[in-house]
Structure 1
Amino acid sequence: MIRTKLSLRRPLAVLGAALLGLTGAVTLAAPASAHHTTITATAACDQLSGERVITWKVENSERNKTATITKVTADPATPVTVTVAGAESKPLDTVVIPKGDYVEATQRVPGDTARATLTVDAVWQKNNARASNNGSIDLSADQSCSPAPKCVDASQAKYSHTFDGPKGTATVKLDGDLPLCGDSKQWFTLVSYFAPRPEFATPQYVYGTPDSDWIGGGTQTEIELNVEIPDCHTQVDLIWGGVDEVIDPLVEDGKRYGDKKLGSKGAPGNRSTGPRGWYNGGDKSCTTPAATFASNCDGTVTVSLSNDGKTSKYPVEFEVRGENGWSKKVTVEPGKADNGVEVPAAQAGKVEVLVDGKVIENGTYGWDRSADCPLPTVTTEADCDTFSLTATNPEGGQPAKVVFTYGEKTETRTVEPGASETVTFAAGKAESAIVVLPGLELEMEVAYAPEGDCGGGGGGEEPGLPVTGAAAGGIAAGALALLALGAVLFVVARRRRVHFTA
């Protein structure tokens, strides 16, 4: 008789890339008679399907007789098949076991099966001997078999990230080779803020538009995020969630991101590995303090303060300083201006505007008389015995110091705004008087020209015209025209004499 040995290589090949873990706990049934089959088993896990794959080995005890299998009972009751070389798989209960040989059969059972048994009935043809034998395998010692995952559940997914706060950039990547399952998506958001200081402080206001994107949808496993950074103190946060998670503004005792920041110690931020996803910095204040100055005719300076630039998000406390310790503080809200700071004339020679103890850009000034400010005027009266000069200071100006000099005599007066001062000299041989305003750096020469005939005395040989040089005649003629109106105006001239006749 020809011995035929059945090959069971094909079922093993079908498992392909399945991860197989062997289980060796096998129980054998005692032979029912001299003729018997011996049944043993091994098992492995097919991770592609999540099933246990049991390989049953059924041996013929007789070396000179074939055994015909007549019945197979399996628990779990799933098919038990063998594959003969060159043939399709067929049930085990149709197989003949050669003399002294064995067959191997394959059975697939659920992955959580704890125990499997197989009972084989066989008959030996020469003497019609019959036997029913069984075998079993204990699978409980092994963990239940599950299919290899094809995706990762969003609730279990892990990520890794990069973060560059000063540049406002970040990336987030799903760890592993599997996408998120189904249509699930996980959102991440990068947001930047205006901040009052370069370290954490409140309040903070969102700058620009936060950048938000998601990982998932079965295909997207990595994202890049970019935000604009203000040109001032800032905070940048990489957070778990979409734009609905953005807090604006961040205020004292208000909501915080906490462990939603990627790279945090707690969940969900700790589900992404990488640097801390938050940054505080910037070297400029998020305000735009500015000052403009205007000199007033009365010697005061009006300081206009503003806080209305594009980065002005916080109130600014200005300090306006003058000379001799004078100081005034003013707070200007963001987007506003204040025009109400007036530095007194006595302190307006040097004005400084400071914020946080530092002089701001273009924040220094000194009072400067405007060309529009009216000048003091002088009128004269003269006869053969006296020469009177009257200085009048217009309202709205500063007190004016006036020095009158005629011949050897000098008189000094301070003329208040809106007032006049008169000095009278005894007529002498001097042909003109000098009037000086030191505070304005102005000087004028006024000719002594009494009305009427003084007999050739008092004012010199030819009274009425000053003797002041080549241009004196023309200037005197102009002065006489002004005297016809009862007043002589000072001409604005720095340390230059202007000649008038009285």
Structure 2
Amino acid sequence: MIRTKLSLRRPLAVLGAAVVGFAGAVAVAAAPASAHHTTITATAACDQLSGERVITWKVVNSERNKAATITKVTADPATAVTVAVEGAESKPLSEVVIPKGGHVEAVQRVPGDTARATLTVDALWQRNNAKSTDSGRIDLATDQPCTPAPKCVDADKASYSHTFDGPKGTATVKLEGDLPLCGEAKQWFTLVSYFAPRPQFATPQYVHGTPDSDWLGAGQNEIELTVDVPDCHTQVDLIWGDADEVIDPLVEKGPRYGSKKLGDKGAPGNRSKGPQGWYNGGDKSCTTPAAAFTSNCDGTVTVALSNDGSISKYAVEFEVRAENGWSKTVTVEPGKAENGLVVPAADAGKIEVLVDGKVIENGTYTWERPEDCPLPTVTADADCDTFALTASNPEGAMPVTATFTYGDKTETRTVKPGTAEKVTFKAGDDETALVVLPELDLELEVVYAPEGCGEGGGGEEPGLPVTGAAAGGIAAGAVALLALGAVLFVMARRRRVHFTA
């Protein structure tokens, strides 16, 4: 006999659904030789739970007034062909009677990769003892093989989504879709924060605190990650993998996370949808630069530089400069200090300590004379013809200017540390001389009273040196050493105290 066929494609299966979709070919039996015959057509669907083709065969009785009894069924593939019975179990198609002018539908399950199926039915019309053998065929070769719907997703094919807040150090990662990861598979993700030298990407970077790692799988489909972010320049990264993937430190020409960062354009980071999983920022340096100053008696200033705070992770380049142009650059490693930098006395004045071109906090200083510095001494040597005054400056002191005035004569000398300067005046009628030390804001009045010179000569025995406390905390220290007569020294700040013998 001649057979014709009609082929239909199977529709795409809905993932995980236990629905049988129709996509098979329809087969039609050729016209039989006798008037009595059956017509056989078929449709097919894919059972996504089992991965089998489900063929529904429709067998139609050609006779409107005669029932047909099916006596034999031959199927290829040779699997059961059954008819559903209401209220009872299904029964083989070979045991079915097709009512007058009616039809029956039988179901056959075949492997999912079946390319073609045929069904041959022998029928008997008992009323006139007529017989026929008819066949139907369905062609499945043009369809995709039927496979079971997946119950899980392989870890290397899974997709994810994420959120990320770098400044707060928080992130979430979620497994997309309704299927869990297959088996015992786990996919790890890690959130890590760094100390950084700049608010933009720069190296080296050092891990801050403890990275937070967690995994998806085994029924866990969403995770939250949190890290502490340093209170300084930082980088925060959300990466694909566990804590073993963390790079510490990040250095110039060293390894990088690259596409491991979630949200990257490359794999595996692009398997998670969401914002870029990296952040660079922070509004202050990850160092703690500090300076301390000490004034010395010789006019120099010792500057101590330190870089040992809790967030000091990088070397600091300090610039120390004085008012008249003197400067020096000192690099202090993290956790270290430099205590021996001395600004010369000649360059004293306002001193500034700068980092990255900015004066650091408490980084400005001006030299102040220490209270325990020894003062210069003045001695006098007087006779009837001359009045000599000598200023001596101790070792370790600053150079001082001494101005000697007697009568209408004034002499000025610079007295270096460890030296003395002597000025001799011709004796006159003036009874006092004035010694001024302007850098120390001191004036000393010296009474000229030698013994045995002209009328009224003679005087008292030399008295003890007289010292006085200078206003503002300068200790008494001017020493009057008397020779050849009663010479009296009086020290005061910008005031004169006159003593008579």
1:353-368 to structure 2, matched below 5 A, reads 353-368=353-368
Give the secondary-structure state (helix, strand or coil) at the position aligned to 1:147: coil
Which residue is 1:120 aligned to? Answer: 121
Cα 1:74–1:491, aligned 2, differ >3 Å: closer, same or farther?
Answer: farther
Cα distance between partner residues in 2 of 1:493 and 1:231: 54
Q: CA deviation at 1:457?
A: 3.5
Cα distance between partner residues in 2 of 1:281 and 1:82: 72
Which residue is 1:447 aligned to? Answer: 447
Further displaced range: 89-98 or 296-305: 89-98
Cα 1:356–1:453, aligned 2, differ >3 Å: closer, same or farther?
Answer: same
Cα 1:318–1:498, aligned 2, differ >3 Å: closer, same or farther?
Answer: farther
Which residue is 1:77 aligned to? Answer: 78
Cα distance between partner residues in 1 of 2:499 and 2:389: 12
Cα distance between partner residues in 2 of 1:301 and 1:493: 27
Whether the aligned pair in 1 keeps the contact of 2:376 and 2:478 (CA below 8 Å) is: no
Q: Deviations over 1:55-96 (max 9, x none)?
A: 111223334443322322222222211122222211112222
- The alignment status of 1:391 with 2:391, answered yes or no, reads yes
Q: CA deviation at 1:99?
A: 2.9
Cα distance between partner residues in 2 of 1:292 and 1:271: 54
Q: How many residues align?
A: 472
Which residue is 2:271 aligned to? Answer: 271
1:143-182 to structure 2, matched below 5 A, reads 143-182=144-183
Q: CA deviation at 1:500?
A: 6.8
Which residue is 1:8 aligned to? Answer: none
Taking structure 2 as the reference length, what is the TM-score of the superposition? 0.86
Q: CA deviation at 1:501?
A: 7.6
Which residue is 1:475 aligned to? Answer: none
Q: Deviations over 1:233-263 (max 9, x none)?
A: 2222111111111111111111111111111
Cα distance between partner residues in 2 of 1:346 and 1:220: 73
- The alignment status of 1:204 with 2:184, answered yes or no, reads no
Q: CA deviation at 1:199?
A: 1.5
Which residue is 1:87 aligned to? Answer: 88
Cα 1:494–1:151, aligned 2, differ >3 Å: closer, same or farther?
Answer: farther
Which residue is 2:474 aligned to? Answer: none
Q: CA deviation at 1:383?
A: 3.5
Cα distance between partner residues in 2 of 1:50 and 1:501: 129
Unaligned runs of 5+ in 2: 1-16, 467-476
- The letter for the 2-side match of 1:360 is I
1:38-117 to structure 2, matched below 5 A, reads 38-117=39-118
Give the secondary-structure state (helix, strand or coil) at the position aligned to 2:439: helix
Which residue is 2:329 aligned to? Answer: 329
Cα distance between partner residues in 1 of 2:85 and 2:491: 127
Q: Which one has the bigger helix percentage?
A: 1
Q: CA deviation at 1:465?
A: 8.6
Which residue is 2:496 aligned to? Answer: 497
Q: Deviations over 1:80-130 (max 9, x none)?
A: 111222222111122222233221111122222221112223333344444
Q: CA deviation at 1:280?
A: 1.6
Cα distance between partner residues in 2 of 1:145 and 1:245: 41
Whether the aligned pair in 2 keeps the contact of 1:464 and 1:501 (CA below 8 Å) is: no
Give the secondary-structure state (helix, strand or coil) at the position aligned to 1:391: strand
Whether the aligned pair in 2 keeps the contact of 1:111 and 1:146 (CA below 8 Å) is: yes
Whether the aligned pair in 2 keeps the contact of 1:436 and 1:442 (CA below 8 Å) is: yes
- The letter for the 1-side match of 2:414 is T
Give the secondary-structure state (helix, strand or coil) at the position aligned to 2:352: strand
Cα 1:333–1:155, aligned 2, differ >3 Å: closer, same or farther?
Answer: same
Whether the aligned pair in 2 keeps the contact of 1:158 and 1:175 (CA below 8 Å) is: yes
Cα 1:334–1:388, aligned 2, differ >3 Å: closer, same or farther?
Answer: same
Q: CA deviation at 1:29?
A: 5.0
Give the secondary-structure state (helix, strand or coil) at the position aligned to 1:353: strand
Cα distance between partner residues in 1 of 2:37 and 2:410: 153
Taking structure 1 as the reference length, what is the TM-score of the superposition? 0.86
Q: CA deviation at 1:479?
A: 9.9
Q: CA deviation at 1:490?
A: 8.6
Which residue is 1:410 aligned to? Answer: 410
Q: CA deviation at 1:27?
A: 4.8
Cα distance between partner residues in 2 of 1:87 and 1:396: 120
Which residue is 1:400 aligned to? Answer: 400
Cα 1:340–1:349, aligned 2, differ >3 Å: closer, same or farther?
Answer: same
Further displaced range: 299-308 or 165-174: 165-174
Cα 1:77–1:496, aligned 2, differ >3 Å: closer, same or farther?
Answer: farther
Q: CA deviation at 1:54?
A: 1.1
Q: CA deviation at 1:441?
A: 0.7
Whether the aligned pair in 2 keeps the contact of 1:250 and 1:256 (CA below 8 Å) is: yes
Which residue is 1:5 aligned to? Answer: none
Q: Deviations over 1:4-60 (max 9, x none)?
A: xxxxxxxxxxxx951413323425355364433222111122223322211111223
- The letter for the 2-side match of 1:344 is P
Cα distance between partner residues in 1 of 2:313 and 2:301: 28
Q: CA deviation at 1:438?
A: 0.8
- The letter for the 2-side match of 1:98 is P
Cα 1:320–1:501, aligned 2, differ >3 Å: closer, same or farther?
Answer: farther
Q: CA deviation at 1:463?
A: 9.7
Cα distance between partner residues in 1 of 2:492 and 2:328: 36
Which residue is 2:186 aligned to? Answer: 185
Further displaced range: 490-499 or 441-450: 490-499
Whether the aligned pair in 2 keeps the contact of 1:441 and 1:495 (CA below 8 Å) is: yes
Whether the aligned pair in 1 keeps the contact of 2:38 and 2:61 (CA below 8 Å) is: yes
Q: CA deviation at 1:298?
A: 0.8
Which residue is 1:288 aligned to? Answer: 288
Whether the aligned pair in 1 keeps the contact of 2:193 and 2:227 (CA below 8 Å) is: yes
Give the secondary-structure state (helix, strand or coil) at the position aligned to 2:270: helix
Whether the aligned pair in 2 keeps the contact of 1:350 and 1:367 (CA below 8 Å) is: yes
Give the secondary-structure state (helix, strand or coil) at the position aligned to 2:425: strand
Which residue is 2:142 aligned to? Answer: 141
Whether the aligned pair in 2 keeps the contact of 1:67 and 1:99 (CA below 8 Å) is: yes
- The alignment status of 1:230 with 2:230, answered yes or no, reads yes
Which residue is 1:3 aligned to? Answer: none
Which residue is 2:473 aligned to? Answer: none
Whether the aligned pair in 1 keeps the contact of 2:307 and 2:337 (CA below 8 Å) is: yes
Cα 1:500–1:140, aligned 2, differ >3 Å: closer, same or farther?
Answer: farther
Cα distance between partner residues in 2 of 1:320 and 1:498: 44
Cα distance between partner residues in 2 of 1:480 and 1:299: 22
Q: CA deviation at 1:499?
A: 5.5
Give the secondary-structure state (helix, strand or coil) at the position aligned to 1:73: strand
- The letter for the 2-side match of 1:270 is N
Cα 1:422–1:480, aligned 2, differ >3 Å: closer, same or farther?
Answer: closer
Which residue is 1:255 aligned to? Answer: 255
- The letter for the 2-side match of 1:340 is G
Q: Deviations over 1:210-234 (max 9, x none)?
A: 22222221x2222222222222222
Cα 1:500–1:54, aligned 2, differ >3 Å: closer, same or farther?
Answer: farther
Cα distance between partner residues in 2 of 1:480 and 1:353: 40
Aligned-CA RMSD value = 3.0
Whether the aligned pair in 2 keeps the contact of 1:55 and 1:104 (CA below 8 Å) is: yes
